[in-house]
Chain A
Amino acid sequence: MSWHDSALHAAGNAVLHTPFQNLWPLVAAPGLAALVSDRSARFLARTPQASWPAAILAAAPGLAGLGVIWQALQWDVVRTWHGLVMYRITPLVAAGLAAYAVMRALQRQAEVARLFAAAAAPSDRLRRAADRLGLRARQLATADKECFVAGLLRPTVFVSTGALDQLTDDELDAALCHERAHVRGYDTPSLFALSLLRDLAPWGRGAALEAFRAAREANADRQAATSAGPLNLASALVALARPGPALAAGALPMARNDSLRWRMQALLETEAPPEPGPQRFWPGLALCAALVAWPAAQLQVMWLFCESR
């Protein structure tokens, strides 16, 4: 055996024959799934039809992580002598990841509870508009222009006094129709679940989650445009997007992305809608599905191996 073969052998032993050797499934499959998910999400169109592919791509890294964590926390695996040696680090890391995800989810729900406590009963105008559309509504006593849905089990529309002052009755109806589409589409529970899965495998940029949000916005815009008219929704978007007096006087913050522009273009049809190109996200979707099954299967084999010893 030449010297470099010996060095490689020693390096291989150092990497593989340590208590850390089974940590790799915790990172490898979810990390690879996150990479594939990020790359594939670029090919998703900003249309309602992209919701499901985006949701699957966004969930894949977390589901792969969940499979590994579930297997790593099985007491039967850890109980055997070989299992204890081989998995003593992995269960700790898996438990840490699971605890992190649960803690983040609880923090998010605590923030929503703060929001419900801070909000007041809706004004007559808001109550009438919300009742007509079958929505729960709360009013935020602030001059900031806010309009959004929050709440996991009882999704509620929050509209600020500043937003109510800016919107005409038609625009308010269009805005509430948009929020009703989010409520009917179970968008807040979906976002909560996908965010929880993302925390279980916090690798990659989370591009698929952004694509999912864009697809759900496109869906809500389309439904609101059908119910209340595209021009009313477009003018509501402009009214709320225009900065208030305090911000207008200072520097205008840069937009994070161009979502307002493409939403307005879709509503006003100022440009021809893009031709549907080859759907290049499907191979990524299939690979992500395979990666979800892989770590669980790999750990199952390791578990059988431990049992047989």
Chain B
Amino acid sequence: MADIFRPSRSGAAAVLGPLEGEIMEVIWKADRAVSVPDVHGALIADGRAISYSAVKAVLNNLADKDRLTKTREGKATYFAAAKSREAFEAQVVSSVVQSLKRNYGAAVIAQLVDELAVDQETLSEFERVIAQRKSELKP
């Protein structure tokens, strides 16, 4: 699923909804599987006036979008982040760069290397020549 990117926001909220971003921040900070009351309590403690049912609905939405994994223990449901914050941000950055290069890259950016090499053998040959030249330069 393509992410909707909002440049005016920062962090996870740039591709998530505002409440989704806040909830993901709570879960990443907890660094373990959390229940709906845990998340609701953390948001209330942060001064966010929000209902329990709204938190539960957003958590379920995030699980449907594969941002969270959902497990049941007895009657309680626990949610954990599917990806670490670093992995999530890396995915966001990668998708932005790939989108730019795919759609408009040639028109707006000057890339050092704008393509993959023709083949491994060619690259290895270049590496061999570079190493040879460097060794020749050494006194």
Contacts and interface: CB of A to CB of B under 8 A. Distances in A.
A134 to B, nearest CB: 17
Interface string B1-25: 0000101101000100000000000
Contact of A111 (B100, B112, B126, B133): B100
Contact of A192 (B107, B119, B122, B133): B107
A115 B96 contact: yes
Contact of A140 (B97, B115, B117, B129): B97
A184 to B, nearest CB: 12
A211 interface: no
A250 to B, nearest CB: 12
B77 interface: no
Contacts of A253: 116
Question: Main SS of the interface on chain A?
Answer: helix
A132 interface: no
Contacts of A235: 127, 130
A14 interface: no
A108 B97 CA distance: 13
A146 B97 contact: yes
A156 to B, nearest CB: 10
Contacts of B110: 148-150, 179, 182, 187-188, 191, 213, 216-217, 220
A111 B108 contact: yes
Contacts of A243: 116-117
B133 to A, nearest CB: 5
Interface string B108-128: 111111111111101100110
B96 A238 contact: no
A149 B112 CA distance: 9
A284 B59 CA distance: 63
Interface residues of A, number: 64
Nearest to A236: B112
A58 B109 CA distance: 17
A150 B123 CA distance: 27
B106 interface: yes
B94 to A, nearest CB: 4
Nearest to B118: A255
Interface in A163-195: 175, 178-179, 182, 187-188, 191-192, 195
A238 B5 CA distance: 33
19 contacts: A116-B7, A117-B14, A140-B97, A141-B86, A142-B90, A145-B113, A147-B113, A150-B100, A178-B112, A179-B112, A192-B107, A220-B110, A231-B133, A236-B112, A238-B126, A253-B116, A255-B116, A255-B117, A259-B115
